[in-house]
Amino acid sequence: MENDRDIPKPIRDALNFTIFVKNFIEFPRFKVIRKNIQQDANYLKQCNFEPDHHPICPIFRVGTILDLVETDREEQIQMLTLGGVIRVKIDWKCNLDKPLELCLPEYSFGRLDARFKEESFSQGFNFR
């Protein structure tokens, strides 16, 4: 049973948790497959997505995503406490006839839930 009155504090260091996204596109008729993990294992072990420095890294730090979708620190704390819904969009804008290194995904993020300041009923991410 839901209990919206008993709200636990966010997990310490939750901002440093990471999310690893594997994605691919496939066109079997043309025998074309493109994956977002084309880098060597050493790069993947040390990278975290940053729009300016590591835009193709498929490892996303929760804190980085929050900074991209919500600039208000109070809203970020509310999202960590009560939950939120974030869109991860992966764009493959490329010519599949070109080499692999010219066909790389572009990541973008957006907040899909209502801001806590604007929504007074059923705040956060709820499920039944």
Per-residue pLDDT band at 47 (split at 50, 70, 90): very high
- pLDDT for 99 equals 81
Residue 70, amino acid: E
More confident call, 103 vs 4: 103
Residue partners of 72: CB distance under 8 A and separation at least 6: 115, 117
- pLDDT for 62 equals 95
What are the pLDDT digits (tens) for 65-117? 999 999 999 999 888 888 888 999 999 988 878 887 788 899 999 998 878 77
- How many Å apart are CA 18 and CA 58, to the nearest integer? 10
More confident call, 4 vs 71: 71
Q: Residue 40: pLDDT above 90?
A: no
- pLDDT for 51 equals 93
pTM of the model: 0.79
Mind spelling out the 3-state secondary structure of the chain? Answer: CCCCCCCCCCCCCHHHCEEECCCEEEEHHHCEEEECCCCCHHHHHHCCCECCCECCCCEEEHHHHHHHHCCCHHHHHHHHHHCCCEEEEEECCCCCCCCHHHCCCEEEEEECCCCCCCCCCCCCCCCC
- pLDDT for 31 equals 86
More confident call, 13 vs 96: 13
